[in-house]
Amino acid sequence: MHQQGAPRPSLVQEKGEKILSIALAGQPNVGKSTVFNLLTGLNQHVGNWPGKTVERREGVFEHHGERIHLVDLPGTYCLTAASPEEMIARDYIVQNRPDVVMVVINAASLERNLYLVAELLALPSPIVIGLNMMDVAEQEGVLVDPQKLAAAIGVPVIPMVASKNRGVHDFLDAALKVAHEGLPQEPSRPEIRADHRDVLKAIEALLGEWVPAPYPADWVALKVLEGDTEITARMKAVTPPDIWARVESLLRQHEDALIAVAGGRYAWIRRVTQGALIKAHLGHVTLTQRLDAWATHPLWGLVVLAAVLAVVFGLTYAVGGPLQSWVERHIVGALAKGAARLLQNGPVWLSGLVVDGILGGVGTLISFLPILAIFFATMGFLEDVGYMARAAYIMDRFMHALGLHGKSFMPLFLGFGCNVPAIMGTRIIESHPSRLLTILLAPLVPCTARLAVLTVLAHALFPQKALLVTVSLTALPLLVLAGVGAFAQRFVFKGDQAAFIMEMPLYHQPNWRTIGIGIWQRLVAFLRKAATVILAVSVIIWALSTLPYGEIETSLLAAVGRFLEPVGALMGLEWRQVVAILTSFVAKENAVATLGVLYGAGESAEALSVVLPSHFTVASGLAFLVAEMLFIPCVATVVVIRQETGSWKWALGEIAFLALLAFLGGTITYQLVRLWPI
């Protein structure tokens, strides 16, 4: 309740003549400044509101021989205490009581604009409405009937197109008439819900005598009930403690009064627009709406999503595949040959380290860079045109149909990027069991790194069926997740659901520069990872596969691998392949690098995609990929699981659960494909 300049009594005398006080109110971007400029012309003064950095514009001008003082109030959506602009606008009207408030509203966005009108009607000054942007509204198919709106609200409504100076002077004439004669009828004001009217009266009765002038007691009581922080704090300061304690007690009993008070305003908007808003958005269907009719449809949306995924992977293989073969043969292969020739007279270990360890591991992975670049490009394109939000939306519907829904969905969806933020995102889930279960399920969402490994190996192992294998194996962990989740939903998530509301961004033309920068950033980050973590693991794997006798079959790694061979045998995997899956614990991409090192992709200068198929059957290849997709997430994710659950018990439990799941998935796949060959 600040003082906004000296109080201006109604129809004041200035140098012997009457000057009328008018305030101009409206939401931002409704053409209020245009109206102000048209009315005041050059007679305007620009300064700041006292004690604020908010611009204050006012002007004195003459109309039909009358002098008028016009103040342009800051543009606000409502009159809460959420911003300095809102407090300035409401305090000015309460304290200065202008003779009339001219409210500019946007006809194209009538309902939202009427919220401010609903709030202004509770203040002491009469109002007149300027229904601006009638031309824009008409173009957008929104037809507003000013007479019906005026009759419904009970205040004059003047249609205008301020940008073309149409109707502005009629607006002023109507305002002057109201200033002199008052409103023709009592306006229709919003009412609060019936079950809160007695509380409002009780608060008004308690606070009435303590409300400082010139604030209206009924408005102050309404604001206190609504939970307005500024008015509540002010009233608490001036009200005797015993009275305030009774007010607080009433407020505690009606904690959801906002729904009753603000809800009354929305009900009022619905009521007054019922006859006045004649045809909303007639025949005006935007491109986004047309596309969304398919992309967010419960059934067709899933078909579109499957088609989009198929196109992403299809394009990745069709364009990236031949490029990958070229890079493999002419760059990585040539480098390996050149290095072998250069180091042939040097120590054996050095040539082994460079050719088998570094080029075999990191080099092999780098040869897949074209495939990753295309994958990143297609995903970047989908992001940029605005499709990804639709994918999230339609996936939730799918999950909902399977029984897994609620708060767990959003964190799980994050897992498609990376499992780490997915697990951190579970903080939005209040219930401890639900949060824990979501954390434990999150690694079943294939992260981008896991998808990249799948993309690369599916191409190497099943060049003819890469697309089918990739799409099926992307869906597999999600189906496992849905199965486990649906089971858990019945027992753990029960009753713990919370809605999400998503704004679907408008579809727009792709910005190739943005997409290009995105691809570049991801490739650089991928190369950085290849040059650090993957390089280190490749060198360690090479060392363990060489020591102590220089032969892979008698190496330390072979000893470990052979120990695990019985487990691998059930999945049709030999020890090298089991070791490759194990090393993906450090970083998913290591699965590829390790296969490169252990199958000597660098030494033989033969591409991994050429070497690999001879070491896998269809059954063992599929089993390998299934196990890889279900296996323990990377070490960074496990560390975050420990951090977020606060216990190693859960982190280790997760490792055991997913290792078992990978083993079972791999074994079942191998045995089934062996029995019924594809």
Partner 1 sequence: MADLNPLEALLRRLADGRIYNLRELAQALAIDEALLEQMLQQLEAAGYLRAVAGECQRGCAHCAYQAMCALTQGGRIWALTERGRQAAKQ
Residues between 574 and 613 with contacts to partner 1, criterion CB under 8 A: none
CB nearer partner 1, residue 644 or residue 654: 644
Candidates 109, 163, 188, 604; binder of partner 1 (CB under 8 A) is 109
Q: Please tell me the distance from the alpha carbon of residue 200 to that of residue 535, in angstroms, as a whole number.
A: 71
- Under the binding rule (CB under 8 A), the answer on residue 425 touching partner 1 is yes
CB nearer to partner 1: give 173 or 496: 496
**Smallest gap from residue 525 Cβ to partner 1 (A):** 3
The CB-of-504 to partner 1 minimum distance in angstroms stands at 6
Q: How far apart are CA 36 and CA 24, in angstroms?
A: 8
Q: Are strands 17-26 and 66-72 parallel, antiparallel or unpaired?
A: parallel
Q: Does 525 bind partner 1 (CB under 8 A)?
A: yes
Contact 607, 367 (CB under 8 A): yes
Residue among 60, 202, 243, 259 that touches partner 1 (CB under 8 A): 259
Distances (CA, A) of 151 to 101, 157, 227, 413: 18, 9, 32, 50
Of 608, 612, 615, the closest CA to residue 336 belongs to 608
Q: How far apart are CA 289 and CA 90, in angstroms?
A: 38
Taking the complex as a whole, the smallest distance from the CB of residue 243 to partner 1 amounts, in Å, to 25
- Binding partner 1 (rule: CB under 8 A), the pick from 141, 154, 187, 263 is 263
State the binding string over 282-311 for partner 1 (x if CB under 8 A, else -).
Answer: -------x--x---x---------------
Q: Which parts of 309-338 interact with partner 1 (CB under 8 A)?
A: none
Q: What is the DSSP letter of 459?
A: H
Question: Binding residue for partner 1 (CB under 8 A) from 215, 526, 542, 616?
Answer: 526
Measured CA to CA, the distance from residue 426 to residue 432 in angstroms comes to 10
| Closer residue to partner 1 in complex, CB, 123/519 | 519
Of 296, 628, 314, the residue nearest 471 (C-alpha): 314
Residue 396 Cβ vs partner 1, minimum distance, rounded to whole Å: 4
Q: How far is the CB of 58 from partner 1 (least distance, A)?
A: 28
Q: How far is the CB of 280 from partner 1 (least distance, A)?
A: 7
Query: Which CB, 354 or 404, lies closer to partner 1?
Result: 404
Long-range own/partner contacts, residues 247-254 (CB < 8 A, 24 or more apart): 247/203, 247/206, 247/207, 250/199, 250/202, 250/203, 250/206, 251/203, 251/224, 251/225, 251/227, 253/199, 254/196, 254/199, 254/225
Q: Please, which residue, 69 or 405, has the CB nearer to partner 1? A: 405
Number of C-beta neighbours around residue 298 at 10 A: 11
Cβ distance to partner 1 smaller for residue 138 or 170:
138
- CB closer to partner 1, 406 vs 621: 406
- Which of 26, 264, 621, 666 is close enough to bind partner 1 by CB under 8 A? 264
Q: Which residues of 240-272 are buried (b: 16+ CB within 10 A; e: fewer)?
A: eeeebeebeebbeebeebeebbbbbbeebbeeb
Amino acid found at 206: L
With binding defined as CB under 8 A, does residue 195 bind partner 1? no
Q: Is 105 in the site for partner 1 (CB under 8 A)?
A: no
Closer residue to partner 1 in complex, CB, 233/660: 233
Binding to partner 1 (CB under 8 A): which residues in 473-492?
none
Q: Which of 171, 409, 542, 670 binds partner 1 (CB under 8 A)?
A: 409
Q: Is 80 in the site for partner 1 (CB under 8 A)?
A: yes
Pairing of strands 157-159, 277-279: unpaired
Three-state DSSP string of 139-192:
HCCCEECHHHHHHHHCCCEEECEHHHCECHHHHHHHHHHHHHHCCCCCCCCCCC
What's at 384, amino acid-wise? D
Binding test (CB under 8 A) with partner 1, winner from 100, 105, 110, 444: 110
How many Cβ atoms sit within 10 Å of the Cβ of residue 537? Answer: 22
Tell me how far apart the alpha carbons of residues 29 and 40 are, in angstroms, rounded to a whole number: 19
**Could you say which residues in the range 201-240 bind partner 1, by CB under 8 A?**
227
Q: Kindly tell me which of 387 and 663 has the beta carbon lying closer to partner 1.
A: 387
User: Is 443 or 518 the residue whose CB approaches partner 1 more closely?
Assistant: 518
Told to check if 90 binds partner 1 by CB under 8 A, we report no
**12 exposed, middle or buried (CB, 10 Å; 0-12, 13-18, 19+)?**
middle
List the interface residues with partner 1, window 446-475 (CB under 8 A).
447-449
Q: Of residues 30-69, which lie at the interface with partner 1 (CB under 8 A)? A: none
Minimum distance from residue 499 beta carbon to partner 1 (Å): 4
Q: What single letter denotes the amino acid at residue 307?
A: A
**Cβ-based burial of 650 (10 A; exposed 0-12, middle 13-18, buried ≥19):** middle
136 in contact with partner 1 (CB under 8 A) = no
Identify which range of 2-10, 18-26, 514-522, 559-567 contacts partner 1 by CB under 8 A: 514-522
Q: How far is CA 659 from the centre of its chain?
A: 33
Q: Which two tokens stand for residue 380?
A: 């970047």
Shortest Cβ distance from residue 632 to partner 1 (Å)? 19
Q: Which is nearer to partner 1, 109 or 163 (CB)?
A: 109
| Residue 380 binding partner 1, by CB under 8 A | yes
Minimal distance, residue 277 CB to partner 1, in Å? 9
Per-residue HEC secondary structure of 609-650 comes to HHHHHHHCCHHHHHHHHHHHHHCCCCHHHHHHHHHHHCCHHH
DSSP 8-state class, residue 239 = S
Task: Name the one range near partner 1 by CB under 8 A: 154-162, 242-250, 412-420, 591-599.
Answer: 412-420
In the bound state with partner 1, the residue whose beta carbon lies nearer, of 71 and 305, is 305
Of the pair 412, 608, the CB lying nearest partner 1 is at: 412
What is the rounded CA–CA span in Å between residue 105 and residue 65? 27
